[in-house]
Amino acid sequence: MSVIDQMSVVVTAVKQVAPMIKEFTLEPLEGQLTPFSPGAHVVVTMAGTESTYRNAYSLMSDPQDNSQYRIAVRLQETSRGGSVYMHQQVEVGTQLKISPPSNLFAPQWMAKKHVLFAGGVGITPFLSYLPALQRQQVPFELHYMYRSQQTGAYRIELTESLADRCHCYDADQGNRCDVSAVMSAQPLGTHFYICGPESLIEAVQTTADEMGIPPSAIHWEAFAGAKPGQPFVVELSGRGVELDVAADSSLLEALEAADIKIPNLCRAGVCGQCVCDVAGGEVEHRDSYLSDTEKQSGRVIMPCVSRAAGERLVLDI
């Protein structure tokens, strides 16, 4: 996605759907919204006073409804500013720039059954899955883990509409999901989808390994984007330019602010699109895309999430 592909939208509704989560309805300023598929996300540009943040948010509306998009944003304790901006600055009437939808987390329609594991605000991509799964009349079940005093949005609606296909686990009530029991009860050919914290993704992956479920049947999306870090200087050897990367800015955002276009899709260190060659300096790798060998080589970096380990980094761009 390049910055010039952006669409202009206006916020037409804001709802507090859980103590830490707000839902935003976005409608086009003119023309039509781009159609999307279940599991798609958009990147929202937030022009703060100090920095411009770009965060990816799952579309949670019905993919058959192109009149509006809906996204939900959890206020992050370790926010670089993006979620705080959405919670404090964005209200009905605010205009935003968003990317067209991309999808790195689509349902696998050949699956015999679909089992969805959602943690907190990780419910959002599944809200666009559910109408599609119901229309296709395929077997599925949702396991939704949350803390009712913080997250836990939509649990009442989901329980009402999905009945026994929705399993809710409120950690504030001491309820935990036994991932291994859920997975071992599924028929051969089931695909598993996870959106939530790393601990949940790892629990499902580890159980799948133990049970001999192939990695091709496990699909996950981490909702954590770039996290803050130490400020550093990046030198672009091909251009003879130096840029400051602030503590609350990602390297990708710093490059974009200098009008340097880097392909990107997930902005979460997963898709591999933004890879850049490193010509000097040490990298603090924070992505889930590069192999251990690639990371150890120190010759590549995913600038959407990773940073310099020291005060200076040289990129070969």
Residues in contact with ligand FES by the rule CB under 6 A: 264-267, 269-274, 287, 289, 302, 304
**Closer to ligand FES at the Cβ: 40 or 265?**
265
**Closer to ligand FES at the Cβ: 152 or 269?**
269
Q: Look at the chain and count its residues.
A: 317
Q: Nearest approach, Cβ of 72 to ligand FES (angstroms)? A: 21
Tokens of 184: 């071992």
Instruction: Output phi, psi for 68, to 5 deg.
Output: -155, 160
Q: Nearest approach, Cβ of 287 to ligand FES (angstroms)? A: 6
Helix 124-136 / helix 155-162 crossing angle, nearest 10 deg: 10
Q: Nearest approach, Cβ of 104 to ligand FES (angstroms)? A: 8
**Closer to ligand FES at the Cβ: 194 or 274?**
274
Cα separation, 307 vs 302, in Å, equals 8
Provide the 10 A C-beta neighbour count for residue 288: 17
Alpha carbon dihedral 277, 220, 250, 81, in 10-degree steps, equals: 180
**CA-based torsion, 240, 245, 251, 252: positive or negative:** negative
**Closer to ligand FES at the Cβ: 55 or 61?**
55
Q: Count of alpha carbons within 13 Å of 16, Cβ hemisphere only? A: 7
Q: Nearest approach, Cβ of 255 to ligand FES (angstroms)? A: 12
Q: Nearest approach, Cβ of 206 to ligand FES (angstroms)? A: 23
Q: Nearest approach, Cβ of 52 to ligand FES (angstroms)? A: 16
**Closer to ligand FES at the Cβ: 204 or 268?**
268
DSSP state of 40: -
**Closer to ligand FES at the Cβ: 141 or 253?**
253
By CB neighbour count within 10 A (0-12 exposed, 13-18 middle, 19+ buried), where does 185 fall?
exposed
Sheet holding 190-196, edge to edge: 166-170, 140-146, 113-119, 190-196, 218-222
Q: Nearest approach, Cβ of 44 to ligand FES (angstroms)? A: 15
**Closer to ligand FES at the Cβ: 70 or 267?**
267
